[in-house]
Amino acid sequence: MAAVLESASTGVMNSVIEKLGALMGEQYEKHRAVRRDVAFLKDELSSMYAVLNKLANMEELDPQTVEWRNQVMGMAFDIEDSIDDFVHQVGEDATSTGDFGFLAKIRQYVNELRLRHHFTKQIQELKSRVIEVSERRKRYKLDEAAASSSSFVTVDPRMAALYTEAGSLVGIEGPVDDIVKLVDKKEGDASTSPQGLRVVAIVGFGGLGKTTVANKVYRKIRGQYDCEMFVSVSQRPDLLKLLGRIIHKAGIMTQLNHVVEVEDLIEGIRGYLKNLSYFFVIDDIWDTSVWDILRCALPDNHKGSRVITTTRIETVAKACCSYRPEFIYKMKPLDDENSAKLFFSRVGYVCAQPLKEISDEILRKCGGLPLAIISIGSLLASQPTRSREQWKFVCSSLRSNLRENPTLEGMRQVLKLSYNNLPLHLKTCLLYIGMYPEDHCIEKVDLVRLWVAEGFVANLCDEDAEKVAGTYFNELVNRSMIQPTYTGYNGEVSGCKVHDMILDLIRLKSEEENFLSVVDNASHMALSSQSKVRRLSLHLGFREDQDTAVATSLSMSHMRSFALFGNTCFVPPVSKFKYIRVLNLKDWRTDEHDSIDLTPICKLFQLRYLNVGRKARLPAQISNLQCLETLELNKLDGDVPSDIVHLPYLLHFVVPYGKRLPDGICVMRSLRTLRCFDVGLNSVDNFKGIAELLNVRDLVISCSGTAPQQGNMDTLWCSIAKLISCKLRALTFPSFPANLPPPIVGLDRLAISQAEHHLEVLEVSSTLFPQVPSWIGQHCSRLSVLSLTVNMLRQDDVDLLVQLPNLLDLKLNIRKCPKERILIDNSRVAFPALKLFTFSCFAPCLFFGAGALPNLHTLTLDHHGRGLENVKVLEGIQHLLNLKEVHVVFTNGYCGGKAMPGITEADAEATYRDAISMHPGKSGIKILVNLFCLVMQPSAFYYDSDNGAFVESQ
């Protein structure tokens, strides 16, 4: 389906103009009565569209121009709604089935007359509105602005270093050390002894790096307390949600999950902490009243507990420290040296003399604020040339000197400059992130699909829309408008957050352009009823009566996008979403056990994206959703709609485990994601049909219910082999039920194509392979993530894997103990790219030779419940020169009914610390030990090569 580009500055004008042109085509030849009016609308809106494009590149608009622009965009939405209604009804009438006799023809003719008359009346009314707006436009004189251009980019490899080194470490060593001293400070007064509760407050203007410093201190001294957590507040916190988050992070008993009174939550937290030492960082407190409530939950139990708070307001900092100024740390801006170091790390080069003077002036105006320096540095780094004129323009645009006037407005001006220099498509995508709550972790894959569904992504040279959207995401990362939260070992950013200062700017611009509305407080409910809200994001967590008020006050009839966040009993009125494109309920949580009734969605003919995080009930038939691209369901009450196979544009289809897909999936050739295909429930035709889904990139195979027939499984293996030889990128097999032995004939026995495969991720949690399949090492050079559970591991198997050039993450789970020691050395440049290695076995036995795993960062060892006698796995560990972390996992419980010996974390850490004593970087290697109490039933199966069959583990 070809997407029509929509932007925050021009709305749906482009889409409307294309649809008006379609109404003038041969398909609507018989609707001549409206063709003249449609032609007029098309010509007039095309002129207005050109003006909107000019306005979009102007930094400031006068109020009259803003009002005219918003009226034009609102009118365009209404015109598109009318066109969509008409086209949909005409299409339904043309494709209706039944008796085509004389009476049926009369009925169809009457319906057509009614539709044409109604549409003609609507078009005439809209024409009158267009004329009025057009006349108003003549009274304005609008300056021209140059259009921005965009290009494809990849994530700047310096970004990770920016946030972990430049952004976090430049100039903060001193503050971190000073705050650690305050935390550990010893005093002679018994009332302030180290055993009493101490609160250290970090205060400073937004953008100075308070959170960065606090997080660095937290990481530096954590591990010494019984309970530790980092909690972000917000400018307008919901105390119920905030205290509930503390309860969740602390792992307090679930009976508190249903508590709706602040007092009860406080009592629950105090009771949990009363005998524990704890270390909390409470970030971004805006009001003393919020601290007063939080302080009630933190008992002074003389266990040496510590709390660090951050705030922008000095009076709040004083209240946090009980008005003891010696425990207040005032953040200072970066000095000139560190400001320059941070700035040039982002710009990427040292300035020549003509630029040196301008860069000094820019840094002076940034006032030593890291966020401002990063934002402006990112702006300059993105410029196509390094001319003095460009730098001088940026410098002159910084209107306020932040060092002399460190106000929120001054900071906003710095960020607004970066925003104004974004291309139009990036502005739109950035504004859409305003739908998410503060401090929300945003997954790249979700955001990209939402942008595509909203129509924000240009169709460039037939490039894949999601790939294009991915470059949009990368460029926002590069420009420091969004902050990476997770970067994989391949350097790809897969998650992000938005700095609260930038989010503040986003919300401001969204309000100015009437782009979206966010309701995050019960008092804001009236907002949505005052105007036609096209995009609405509800951040709920209110009480039941307040949630009920939401349902009665919201206007949904003209909405295009709706998102719901929070734990609430509020149920969105799906039947009112007539023109909805995006229905995002992924992060909607509730304590209710009843499912949401989504049966009305069958009437939402424009729906493109549906993601539901709780149990949902779908209609029996869903083929009316001809525009649907993404359907993700966490839980499904009932069956998958039988006609879902007839959705022509469905790209991503995610259903929960244990659901049978309807027959005929072979026609779903547009699918790129299929999760999950259940081998215990699907029909024979569907086992064959998998082979026809040649566009699938991501496939998850699950198993529930009864064991599948051997013939079906053989068919499935052949189908998967065909996909592996085509476009399949990721293949996942979750664990099969314990009472269901995997099939004897598996992928390892297939004649896989000799062509190079596109497979990048292969995760197999069940024992489908007796040993490492030979085709993995021979034809899967693109593999970056490999997780295998095999019966046995031999030297030949490792030799197959060591040469995979792009393998970054390897997990090997071995069922039977290797008979001989497995050698990994540099004879074949063993694992040249591997950064994460997880080895799980009852008696692991590996030897690392010189030069092996040259880039390994993290080694994880799972002992399967055995004791410390198996530390010999670390033989040769001194050869892993880049090793930074060793994770050790023990299962301390029962295996096969036999008690395992107890192991303490201290004993395990001491043993492993001794084992790495030969490593040249031993002092810098972290050792983390996890003990799990787990009852392991002897129900796993492994492949017995002697008997040629799967047998039960002993």
Mean pLDDT of 202-213: 84
157 or 585: which carries more pLDDT confidence? 585
> pLDDT at residue 265 above 60?
yes
Mean pLDDT of 331-344: 87
User: What is the arithmetic mean of pLDDT over 52-71?
Assistant: 79
Q: Is 749 helix (H, G, I), strand (E, B) or coil?
A: helix
Alpha-carbon distances, residue 919 vs 414, 611, 675 (angstroms): 48, 49, 44
The pLDDT score that the predictor gives to residue 947 is 41
Residues 311 and 213: their CA atoms lie apart, in Å, by: 12
Flag the least confident range among 163-177, 251-265, 397-411, 441-455: 397-411
Q: Which amino acid is at 495?
A: G
What pLDDT score does 802 carry?
Answer: 86
| pLDDT at 869 (0 to 100) | 60
Which of residues 368 and 807 earns the better pLDDT score? 807
Asked whether the predicted pLDDT for residue 954 surpasses 50, the reply is no
Residue 655: how many other CB atoms lie within 10 Å: 24
Q: Which of the two residues, 372 and 720, has the higher pLDDT score?
A: 720
Read off the pLDDT band of 849 (50, 70, 90): confident
Interval 880-896 mean pLDDT: 73
Spatial separation of the C-alpha atoms in residues 100 and 938, rounded to whole Å: 66
Kindly tell me if the per-residue pLDDT of 161 is higher than 50.
no
Give the rounded percent of residues in the chain with a pLDDT score beyond 90: 24
Structure tokens, 25: 């085509």
Identify residue 322 by its one-letter amino acid code: S
Query: Do the beta carbons of residue 712 and residue 687 sit within 8 Å?
Result: yes
Task: Give the SS3 label for residue 792.
Answer: coil
Range from 110-124, 494-508, 639-653 carrying the lowest mean pLDDT: 110-124
C-alpha 444/C-alpha 455 separation (Å) is 17
Highest-scoring range by mean pLDDT, 184-193, 339-348, 818-827: 339-348
List the beta strands (DSSP E) in 543-592.
Answer: 561-567, 582-585, 588-589
> CA nearest 19: which of 157, 96, 126, 160?
126
CB 555 within 8 A of CB 533: yes
Alpha-carbon gap, residue 913 to 927, rounded angstroms: 7
Is pLDDT above 60 for 163? no
CA distance to 627, 673, 701, per residue, from 736 (Å): 35, 21, 10
User: Which H or E run includes 785?
Assistant: strand 785-790
Q: Please state which of the ranges 303-317, 405-419, 469-483, 648-662 shows the lowest mean pLDDT.
A: 405-419
**Interstrand relation of 898-899 and 894-895 (parallel, antiparallel or unpaired):** antiparallel
Taking CB atoms within 8 Å and a gap of at least 24, the contacts of 58-61 are 58/142, 58/143, 58/145, 59/420
- Give me the mean pLDDT over the 302-322 stretch: 91
How sure is the predictor about 308, in pLDDT bands with cuts at 50, 70 and 90? very high
pLDDT for the residue numbered 31: 59
Name which of 41-50, 90-99, 643-652, 756-765 the model is least confident about: 90-99
Cis check: omega of the bond before 351, within 30 degrees of 0: no
Question: Which tens digit of pLDDT belongs to each residue from 824-846?
Answer: 887 666 888 899 999 888 665 78
Residue 935's pLDDT band, with cuts at 50, 70 and 90, is: very low
Residue 609 is predicted with a pLDDT of 96
Residue 801, pLDDT above cutoff 60: yes
pLDDT surpassing 50 at residue 206: yes
Minimal CA–CA distance to 12: which of 449, 428, 464? 428
Residues of the chain by 3-state class (helix, strand, coil), percent to 5: 40, 15, 40
pLDDT of residue 414: 64
Provide the 10 A C-beta neighbour count for residue 214: 25
Q: How far apart are the C-alpha atoms of 856 and 858, rounded to whole Å? A: 6
C-alpha span between 668 and 671 (Å, rounded)? 6
Q: Comparing C-alpha atoms, which of 387, 369, 379 is closest to residue 348?
A: 379
Higher pLDDT, 737 or 931: 931
Mean pLDDT of 275-297: 92
Q: Backbone phi, then psi, for 871, in 5-degree steps?
A: -70, -5
Q: Quote the pLDDT of residue 662.
A: 93
**Predicted local confidence at residue 436, as pLDDT:** 94
Identity of the residue numbered 795: Q
CA distance 198 to 306: 5
478: tokens are 């590069």
Instruction: Tell me the pLDDT tens digit for each residue of 431-445.
Output: 999 999 988 999 999
Average pLDDT, the chain: 78
Cα separation of 784 and 774, whole Å? 17
Q: By mean pLDDT, which of 305-309, 754-758, 870-874 is the weakest?
A: 870-874
Rg for the chain (alpha carbons), in Å? 31
Pairing label, strands 442-443, 493-497: antiparallel
Cα first-last separation, the chain: 55
Contact assessment for residue 723 and residue 700, using Cβ atoms and an 8 Å cutoff:
no
Q: What is the mean pLDDT of residues 778-799?
A: 86
Type of residue numbered 282: I
Q: Indicate the pLDDT class of residue 949, thresholds 50, 70 and 90.
A: very low
For the segment 763-773, the average pLDDT, to the nearest whole number, is: 80
* Rounded Cα–Cα distance for residues 541 and 547 (Å): 8
Report pLDDT for 513: 86
3-state secondary structure at position 560: coil
The whole-number average pLDDT for the span 318-336 is 90
**How confident is the model at residue 290, as a pLDDT?**
92
484 pLDDT more than 60: yes
Top-confidence residue, 552 or 132: 132
Residue predicted with more confidence, 259 or 733: 733
Q: Write out pLDDT tens, residues 678-723.
A: 988 889 999 999 999 999 999 999 888 677 777 888 888 888 888 8
Q: Which residue matches tokens 């006698």?
A: 869
Regarding predicted confidence, which is higher, 4 or 512? 512
Residue 923: pLDDT over 90: no
Compute the distance between CA of residue 317 and CA of residue 203 in angstroms, rounded to an integer: 6
Residue 227 pLDDT > 70, yes or no?
Answer: yes
Structure tokens at 324: 């003891």
Strand partners, 199: 307
Fold of 172-330: Rossmann fold (3.40.50)
Distance of CA 497 to the CA centre of its chain: 9
Burial 15-41 (b: 16+ CB within 10 A, else e): bbbebbeebbeeebeebeebeebbeeb
| Rounded percentage of the chain residues whose pLDDT exceeds 70 | 77
Beta strand pairing status for 785-790 and 761-764? parallel
Residue among 564, 514, 487 at smallest CA distance from 75 = 514
Enumerate residues 6+ apart whose C-beta is below 8 A from 817. Answer: 841, 842, 843, 845
Q: What one-letter code names the amino acid at 426?
A: L
Amino acid at site 931 = L
Local confidence band at 295 (pLDDT 50, 70, 90 cut-offs): very high
Asked whether the predicted pLDDT for residue 893 surpasses 50, the reply is no
